């Protein structure tokens, strides 16, 4: 029998412990999710931006409320010298808030 293992979508999470803690806290207090969604939570597969889900063939279910989080982006000046970290807010969606895009979905 030839079973193909379906690959899980992969996020751009880079391993920041502060970001992981912030996202977990946001999920805990989220009106549509809550603490029960932390049990199988993986920052690499469970939460991504709307655009990231779409790139991987998923659509956010209408009416889903985003998980509010943030990330830091390294920025340099025009000469490419001075580096500083800029905080950017991001809206994430949990894997339970998306569905695989199929011909019927479109």
What's the predicted TM-score (pTM) here? 0.80
Q: Is residue 3 part of a domain?
A: no
Give the three-class secondary structure for 93: strand
26-80 pLDDT, tens per residue? 999 999 999 999 988 988 889 999 999 999 999 999 999 999 998 888 888 777 7
Q: Is residue 76 part of a domain?
A: yes
Q: Is residue 49 part of a domain?
A: yes
Q: Is residue 1 part of a domain?
A: no
Q: Is residue 42 part of a domain?
A: yes
Helix (H) or strand (E) holding 60: strand 58-60
CA distance 68 to 37: 15
Q: Is residue 5 part of a domain?
A: no
**Residue 61 structural domain:** 17-100
Split into its structural domains, the chain has a count of: 1
């Amino acid at each position: 029998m030839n079973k193909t293992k379906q690959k899980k979508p992969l996020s751009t999470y880079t391993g920041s412990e502060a970001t992981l803690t912030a996202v977990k806290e946001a999920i805990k207090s989220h009106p549509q999710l809550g603490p029960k969604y932390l049990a199988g939570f993986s920052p690499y597969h469970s939460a991504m931006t709307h655009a990231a889900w779409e790139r991987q063939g998923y659509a956010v279910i209408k009416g889903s409320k985003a998980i509010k989080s943030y990330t830091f982006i390294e920025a340099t000046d025009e000469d490419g010298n001075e580096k500083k970290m800029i905080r950017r807010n991001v809206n994430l969606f949990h894997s339970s808030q998306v569905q695989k895009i199929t011909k019927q979905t479109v």
